[in-house]
Structure 1
Amino acid sequence: MPRWIYALLIALVTLALRMPAAQTVLDTAGRVAACPVTQPGDPPYMPADGVVRMLPEGMFWHGTDALWTMLPLDATWIDLPQTASGYTQKLVWWREGYNFQDEQRPDLAVTGRRLDADASFAAGAATNGYHPDYGSFMLVGVDIPTPGCWEITGRYRGESLSYVIRVAP
């Protein structure tokens, strides 16, 4: 084998070893590559609590009657507001029988862990909300420290729901 090939291989290996392990790799659409994002069910989940909710275009329901949320079809949050704490996002959660008037500070815990690097977060206290198009819901703001592939988990009254989503810069 020619010497220049050995030199090239050594240079490539050296370069690969110097790359940071937590580097985010983006595909050509600017999304985190190789992220096992949550897809709509087949058939798609539909809340069965009798409340008619408007599902925005490009979104789908994810979960069960015990706890559900809505997610973008492309499973990517892009162009989120950025602060010193990271990328901010408001997460909306529903549960059959939840009434915003009865529980103004729901005991909803939301955490996130990055799947493609070492990072995590825990959301602050949840609040409530109501809108004619969505009914009663629980709302929590999160600060996602970095772009990447994230598993988000919500826990409420003994139930939990997780999903995987890309966070792109």
Structure 2
Amino acid sequence: MAPAGRGTVTVSAAVETQLARENAELLKRQVDAWARNDLDELLTLYNDDMVYIDMPFPDHPVRGKQAFREHVRSHSAQFVPGTVQVEYANIIASSTGVVGELRVTARYVGEGAPDGGAEISWWVVLIDTIVNGKVSTEHAHFDSMAFAKAIEQSNAGL
């Protein structure tokens, strides 16, 4: 017979583990939808009152799904469709959140890009808070200078 309370701890640990797995899968579905530029699918993974913050610009949070749709649409327009590729370096999940470290590559055609675009690669760390199985807050940390460096190298013929 298990000591009093021990069964509860085991059930709780099992629930925590299951939620952590679900949150890790949620991150993968989220990143996959973004990489495919499937905004409809992407937005199903967020709560209506979600908040997104690009950490290089923390004073400009994006609030709500409609504003987030426009933000992602504008951001994704900087890349040739179908060129966004993602590699996962790390995913760390708990029952209430998930952190993903990603290496992203794409052909950048945004501001300053040469004709035909420039191959770009950058690191991203996403920190998501999960509420009721959906992303409630997301902080995206990335090297904003990676774009300028890629354009400079492309223009220099490197």
TM-score (norm 1): 0.31
Please state which structure has a larger fraction of its residues in strand: 1
Please state which structure has a larger fraction of its residues in helix: 2
Which has the greater radius of gyration? Answer: 1
